[in-house]
Chains A and B, each alone.
Chain A
Amino acid sequence: MERFIDHCCKECTHASDTPCKDFVRCCVEGPVCHDDPACSAKRKAIIEKVALNEQFVIC
């Protein structure tokens, strides 16, 4: 998962023509629709790559 738009796993369905209403929150706090530490880690990896410091992410 390189970017937030990429699906973290098979559970994810969000795309512009099949939208998921939790998408935005899910980018940073997700996964929302299911529990999976691996998926959560994928998101953290994206964030860590660009977060300048601890205060960078705003929820």
Chain B
Amino acid sequence: MYEKHLMICGATGCLSSGSQAVEQALIEEMEKRGIKDQYRLVMGGCPGFCEVGPIIVIYPDEVFYCRLKPGDMAELVEKHLVGGELVERLLYKGPDVDVPSRFYDTIPFYAKQQFNVLRNSGIIDPESIDEYIMRGGYRAFTRALGMDPAAICEEVKKAGLRGRGGAGFSTGLKWEFTRKAPGLKKYVVCNADEGDPGAFMDRSILEGDPHAILEGMLICGRAIGADEGYIYCRAEYPLAIKRLKIAIEQATEYGILGENILSYDFNFKINIKEGAGAFVCGEETALLASIEGKRGMPRSRPPFPAQSGLFGKPTTINNVETLANIPLIVREGGAAEFARVGTEGSKGTKVFALAGKIRNTGLCEVPMGITIREIIYDVGGGIKGGRAFKAVQAGGPSGGCIPAEQLDLPIDYDSLNKAGAIMGSGGLVVMDERTCMVDLARYFLSFTQKESCGKCTPCREGTKRMLEILNRITEGFGIPEDLDTLDSLAYSIKDSSLCGLGQTCPNPVLSTIRYFRNEYEEHINDKYCRAGVCKALFTYRIDRDNCTGCRACVKACPVDAIKGEKKEPHEINQELCTRCGSCIEKCRQDCILITPVGREADVSN
């Protein structure tokens, strides 16, 4: 038996922070001391706290080491593994704890989280089917094999699970439609095309716990009467694809995929289809077209995929996170337990990706009904750099922003819709006063315009024209009529587009105009971007009253635009300044102000 287990995070965030090098160093240090065989190292799934990566969690000690560097490994091995003592300096430290914190129960980031979908992530070796089984894996499927298909659908309905891909449609009801559709050949499709920029919830599940998806699909297949499934996974996730392939091989070897599964009259096989770089293929009918080998363009409904989907057969398409919930629901007593969490209309938990100006970036899984305030401040640790919260963008390019007035909004499908946002896939981009809302809308719209499939006029042409207007506004060429034009064009696009992409892509624009109209008006009428983002619409000026001449900014400036005597107030040469923002980052006196072009600094931040 192993002395200890070291779970190293090998997921998105930590990988980019260098966890591979950390792992290498760790192995070297252990080999140096000839103790490698006593310890089990697993490069596994995501523990969620990307902000403090790379992360290693040591079991059974339950110690959470973070912000690791290769150079820390010697001490870790020497002091903790060999010496049996904690390495305090590598524990979690932050303004939200008094002492360096050791583990999930003491680290505030985790306090309000509940791991359903992420139950195995970071706990198991994703390439081990045995570990998945040890954690209760495939029990729910075994139970489902002995159930009546209609009863399975009922349980999922009773649990109240709603589609986690964004639409929020009742999963059990969707399964029921497909189950009832006439025909012998049916399909289960898993939408793993996670396309929202910055979203990596599905990725973490696929990479960290691939068998959960297989089990979800198997249960769905049993419930609707399908014998074949496809996982449509974006090609930009090669590790996920690799893990899925391994999982399918293992499940096949174990007789969990194949024919006459576990001696029941049930066959199921799963194919993997890789995406090819199109956001629109996350839309279900475009996804089906892509699997069929056609250009990924959506089509009108009816007919709905439940009646006529893949290759014209009844098909259920579910998102990765939705499927990962299924085994929890269908296991004995699972539906009731699932329904105990969340709100009346939105049961269960949701994984969110926290990004932007928030202190604790990463993935978190929280019960539905938690307020935005709690996510931002308790889970998220509040705004970085102590600035003020401005808004949070929920739902990516299809979503809207939620301003400070609405911080106490509970997160569930219906409340968010009423506020003009959507749950979407769970991306939350947090913004402070240095985020320009106009630029934010422009950013999302440029994304959707590039990704628009081109089939229908309102989306293809309309997003281009909206983007042109926003570009003009951010460059200082906005005219007062622009807001009305944006409004009416957005409305037309929403009202007449063919698919969900077109129908929701004006949301960021509409929502930012709704809550931050003054910013738009400032851009248009005053040619001023108070967030300091739209380069043509502001200048940096040093407030001479508060500048101490510390010259921190001078060192940071890449174009030598700041001049002045030591200990004397300095000045920025507007001719040379490129407004890169390096100086304002470094200023210790907060005396570099964002001012309108051609006017003296007298505008509040």
Which residues in A have some Cβ–Cβ distance to B below 8 Å? 3-5, 14-17, 19-21, 23-25, 27-28, 46-54, 56-59
Query: Are the C-beta atoms of A25 and B258 separated by less than 8 Å?
Result: no
Partner of B123, one of A16, A54, A56: A56
Query: Are the C-beta atoms of B131 and A50 separated by less than 8 Å?
Result: yes
- In order of increasing CB-CB distance, the 6 nearest A-B pairs are A58-B136, A16-B255, A52-B59, A53-B60, A19-B263, A21-B263
What residues of B have a CB within 8 angstroms of the CB of A48 in the complex? 1
Q: List 30 A-B contacts (CB under 8 A).
A: A3-B130, A4-B129, A4-B254, A16-B252, A16-B253, A16-B254, A16-B255, A19-B262, A20-B263, A21-B263, A23-B142, A23-B254, A23-B262, A24-B133, A24-B137, A24-B141, A24-B256, A24-B262, A25-B139, A46-B130, A48-B1, A49-B2, A49-B40, A50-B125, A50-B128, A51-B134, A52-B123, A53-B59, A54-B60, A58-B134
| B135, CB-defined interface residue at 8 Å | yes
What residues of A have a CB within 8 angstroms of the CB of B135 in the complex? 56-58
| B49, CB-defined interface residue at 8 Å | no
Which residues in B have some Cβ–Cβ distance to A below 8 Å? 1-2, 5, 7, 40, 59-60, 62, 123-125, 128-131, 133-139, 141-142, 145, 252-256, 258, 260-264
How far is B261's CA from A15's CA once the two chains are assembled, in angstroms? 10
Identity of the chain A residue whose Cβ is nearest the Cβ of B62 in the assembled complex: A53
How far is B136's CA from A25's CA once the two chains are assembled, in angstroms? 9
What residues of B have a CB within 8 angstroms of the CB of A47 in the complex? 134
What residues of B have a CB within 8 angstroms of the CB of A28 in the complex? 133-134
Given contacts A25-B142, A49-B1, contact A4 B130 (CB under 8 A): yes
What residues of B have a CB within 8 angstroms of the CB of A46 in the complex? 130
How far is B407's CA from A1's CA once the two chains are assembled, in angstroms? 55
Whole-angstrom distance between the Cβ of B147 and the nearest chain A Cβ: 13
How far is B141's CA from A46's CA once the two chains are assembled, in angstroms? 22
Query: Are the C-beta atoms of B60 and A50 separated by less than 8 Å?
Result: no
Whole-angstrom distance between the Cβ of A42 and the nearest chain B Cβ: 13
Whole-angstrom distance between the Cβ of B448 and the nearest chain A Cβ: 42
Given contacts A5-B254, A50-B125, contact A21 B264 (CB under 8 A): yes
How far is B481's CA from A18's CA once the two chains are assembled, in angstroms? 73
Whole-angstrom distance between the Cβ of A7 and the nearest chain B Cβ: 13
How far is B133's CA from A15's CA once the two chains are assembled, in angstroms? 16
Given contacts A19-B255, A20-B262, contact A50 B40 (CB under 8 A): yes
Whole-angstrom distance between the Cβ of A56 and the nearest chain B Cβ: 7
What residues of B have a CB within 8 angstroms of the CB of A59 in the complex? 136
What residues of A have a CB within 8 angstroms of the CB of B263 in the complex? 19-21
What residues of B have a CB within 8 angstroms of the CB of A54 in the complex? 60
What residues of A have a CB within 8 angstroms of the CB of B125 in the complex? 50
What residues of B have a CB within 8 angstroms of the CB of A52 in the complex? 5, 7, 59-60, 123
How far is B124's CA from A53's CA once the two chains are assembled, in angstroms? 12
How far is B259's CA from A15's CA once the two chains are assembled, in angstroms? 12
Whole-angstrom distance between the Cβ of A3 and the nearest chain B Cβ: 6
What residues of A have a CB within 8 angstroms of the CB of B139 in the complex? 24-25
How far is B123's CA from A58's CA once the two chains are assembled, in angstroms? 13
